[in-house]
Chain A
Amino acid sequence: MRNKYSVFSLIKNALSYHENWQRAWKDPAPKKAYDAVIVGGGGHGLATAYYLAKKHNMNNIAVVEKGWIGGGNTGRNTTIIRSNYLWDASAGLYDHALKIWEGLSQELNYNVMFSQRGVMNLAHNLQDVRDLKRRTHANRLNGIDAVYLSTEEVKKFCPIINTSPDIRYPVLGGTLQRRAGTARHDAVAWGYARAADAMGVDIIQNCEVRGIKRNGDSVEGIETTKGFIKTKKIGVVAAGHSSVIANMAGLRLPLESKPLQALVSEPVKPIINTVVMSNAVHAYVSQSDKGELVIGAGTDDYVSYTQKGSHQIVEGTLNAILELYPIFSRMRMLRQWGGIVDICPDASPILSKTSIKGLYFNCGWGTGGFKATPGSGDLFAHTIANDEPHKLNAAFNLNRFVSGDLVDEHGAAAVAH
């Protein structure tokens, strides 16, 4: 039985110096067989397991993770959550996620620190202005809150932005989605892990997948570093390593894995009240609740699995940050890191069945998967449980690269690639 987190449990545990808290999730050895196995214990994988157990009564399932929970891209992203995408399919997908975010802490009984501080996207040239206005209209037609802001309104909403007309790429306007914001990224993984574990899901860490066993056109199980696990359904949520897993099953994916970098500064007092993203100069920044500036840089252009990127990528981002926010000129950066992101040709994800029965892929989120975590898990669980996609993820099938029915979101994906 899982104890509930509450003010009373906090007081009770304070009396024993916080030494007797229950484990958030067990550390089981894998069973011989499961009804379904999720490969990848990041936010999306754990959310998938949680919704499989909660909504589809599949409790005899496991999540296998080669590292530890919260150690992959879940703990490496810049925590931005928004749904202001251009096309109807994307709007449906990302706003579905945003609606779940709004009640997630209560649902999971775990504070994911979801903060709707707004996300502002800046325009720096006339084409940006036209694109962002078009996107604002498209968002509103899809019931997503969005407003277009003039330069003065941008300055009013976030006073530290340099809106002077004589900078290299002046701020000509921007959009604002007020329901957007941030969440504590690893808390999302921990919250889902704890809630899934409470419903009987086995979360198996330090367990790397080495092979996928097929019998003709269907799957029979997975080879792992902890032995063979028999299962009829495998949901792969392996982000940057999706192609590696696909290769084990003899499947080809339209993905390229590239390093994406981020960095945080030393903590300072509250200075930036929102999330500001700027595609044209490639700078986006927010401030964590601890006070660090959280800065997202770009991807390198070559395939790499090294979890480190090139120095000039960070340099370019910091140049842009400094021109937009001269007040940060003397900030010191504390940490810099890279994560491997799996990028689709149309900058939209794949949540899909495959040509192999019982093998499902949730990948291709590229540089912006964190925001979709709850929606992605919910829809992928639906796809696995019913062997059919939900109407919200039907457009994000693997077959779109054959039919040509792409969902081109290069404009709304914040990182140019």
Chain B
Amino acid sequence: MFLINCPYCGERDQQEFKAGGEAHIERPKQPTELSDDEWAEYLFMRKNIKGVQFERWNHAHGCRKWFNMVRDTSNDEIKAIYKMGEKPPSQ
């Protein structure tokens, strides 16, 4: 349980938010040309990092907007928050 600084609404309790999993997984540009292995990679395989990870979050019980977060999964510390479409901060 932690506080999240929504880029649109400010600091709110984590229970207002929905985690949306790993960020920056790009939808294949040519889905019809993908092999089964590439589909598996896109659909199912995840980094699941213990440490600093890039994630998508949604302010589900607030502004309902999506944004990105850099979070350390070993201690739940939030390192950075940035809007969709913005470049991820370099570590």
With a cutoff of 8 Å between Cβ atoms, the chain A residues found around residue B46 in the complex are: 243, 252-256
Residues from chain A with Cβ under 8 Å of B27 in the complex: none
State which of A120-128, A305-313, A321-329, A380-388 sits at the interface with chain B.
A305-313
Q: How many residues of A contact B (CB 8 A)?
A: 27
Known A-B contacts A302-B19, A303-B53, A304-B76; the reply to A310 vs B45 at CB < 8 A is no
Chain A residues with a Cβ under 8 A of chain B: 241, 243-244, 247, 252-257, 300-306, 309-312, 342, 345, 401-404
Establish whether residues A252 and B45, one from each chain, have CB atoms under 8 Å apart when the complex forms: yes
13 A-B pairs in the complex with CB atoms less than 8 angstroms apart: A243-B46, A243-B49, A244-B50, A252-B45, A253-B45, A253-B48, A254-B40, A254-B46, A302-B57, A312-B1, A401-B43, A402-B39, A404-B36
The 9 nearest A-B residue pairs measured at CB: A302-B19, A254-B44, A243-B48, A252-B45, A402-B40, A310-B1, A301-B19, A401-B44, A312-B15
In angstroms, how far is the closest chain B Cβ from the Cβ of A316? 10
Contacts of A401 in B (CB 8 A): 40, 43-45
Q: Chain B 21-50 against A: per-residue CB contact (8 Å), 1 yes, 0 no?
A: 100000000000000110111011111111
Return the chain B residue nearest A306 by Cβ.
Answer: B76
Residue in B14, B45, B55 with the greatest tally of chain A CB atoms within 10 Å: B45
* Residue among B48, B53, B74 with most chain A CB within 10 A: B48
Using a CB–CB cutoff of 8 Å, the interface residues on chain B facing chain A are 1, 14-15, 18-19, 21, 36-37, 39-41, 43-50, 53, 55, 57, 71, 73-76
Please state if A311 and B1 are interface contacts (CB–CB under 8 Å): yes
Q: A257-B48, A401-B45 are in contact. List 14 more A-B contacts (CB 8 A).
A: A243-B47, A252-B47, A255-B46, A255-B48, A257-B73, A303-B19, A303-B49, A303-B55, A305-B73, A305-B74, A310-B14, A401-B43, A402-B37, A402-B40
A301 x B14 contact (CB < 8 A): no
CB distance from B5 to the nearest CB of A (A): 16
Report the bound CA distance from A169 to B40 in whole Å. Answer: 38
Chain A residues positioned under 8 Å from B41 (CB to CB) = 252
User: In this complex, which of B19, B21, B50 has the most chain A Cβ atoms within 10 angstroms of its Cβ?
Assistant: B50
Docked pose: A342 CA to B45 CA in angstroms: 13
Cβ contact within 8 Å between A302 and B55: yes
How far, in whole Å, are A257 and B76 apart by their CA atoms in the complex? 13
In the bound complex, CA of A404 to CA of B44 (Å):
11
C-alpha gap A252/B21 in the complex (Å): 16
CB atoms of A402 and B36 under 8 A apart: yes
Would A303 and B15 be within 8 Å (CB), given that A243-B48, A255-B46, A256-B48 are in contact?
A: no
By beta carbon, the residue of chain B nearest A240 is B50
A306: which B residues are within 8 A, CB to CB?
73-76
Residue of A nearest to B77 (CB): A306
Q: Which residues of chain A are near B43, meaning CB under 8 Å?
A: 345, 401
- Chain A contacts of B40 at CB under 8 A? 254, 401-402
**In whole Å, how far is A393's beta carbon from the nearest beta carbon of chain B?**
19
Given known A-B contacts A310-B14, A311-B1, A312-B1, A303 and B48 have beta carbons under 8 A apart: yes
Bound-state CA distance A301–B18 (Å) is 7
Chain B nearest CB: distance from A297 CB in Å? Answer: 13
Q: Which residues of A have CB within 8 Å of B1? A: 309-312
Report chain B residues within 8 Å CB of A243: 46-50
- List the A side residues contacting B73 at CB < 8 Å: 257, 303-306
B40, B41, B75: most-surrounded residue (chain A CB, <10 A)? B40
Q: Which residues of B contact A303 (CB under 8 A)?
A: 19, 21, 48-49, 53, 55, 73
Considering only CB atoms, which chain A residue lies closest to B48 in the complex? A243
Cβ-defined contact, A254 with B45, below 8 A = yes
Return the chain B residue nearest A300 by Cβ.
B19
